[in-house]
Amino acid sequence: MILGVGIDMVKIEKMETAINKWGSHFIDRIFNSEELEKITPGKIYYQRLAARFAAKEAVIKATSKNFSLALKDILILNKENGAPYCKFVKKLDVDVLLSITHIKDYAAACAVAQKI
């Protein structure tokens, strides 16, 4: 059973500005260490972080009728083949289908939450 659908878009420049202004304090308030393991500074660093932020927001929107989640309650990770997936810090009877994309200026994500 579908619980909800969420979508979000982030301007890459806003993510970069926030990180440059608040540094690791900002990153640590949003992301878990497991999420950051494979994201290293480089050419698309801010795009990747913005895409994961958009994914977290999309998941919150998709689950908001049934759960109250904070950004740190949600982990956005990648499978071996690179496909994104959602993992929750606490046990929830929810599976989330997730799609993420990013280009030079924007990152976007769509989430569909379904009851397990």
The pLDDT value recorded for residue 38 is 84
The pLDDT value recorded for residue 43 is 87
Mean pLDDT of the chain: 95
Cite the active site residues: 61, 102
Q: What is the pLDDT of residues 42-63, one digit of tens each?
A: 889 999 999 999 999 999 999 9
Contact 2, 112 (CB under 8 A): yes
Q: What is the pLDDT of residues 10-20, one digit of tens each?
A: 999 999 999 99
Q: Which two tokens stand for residue 65?
A: 């009728």
What mean pLDDT is predicted for residues 72-94? 95
pLDDT of residue 69 exceeding 90? yes
Claim: this prediction has a pTM higher than 0.85: yes
Q: Can you list the domains of the chain with their CATH numbers?
A: 2-115 (3.90.470.20)
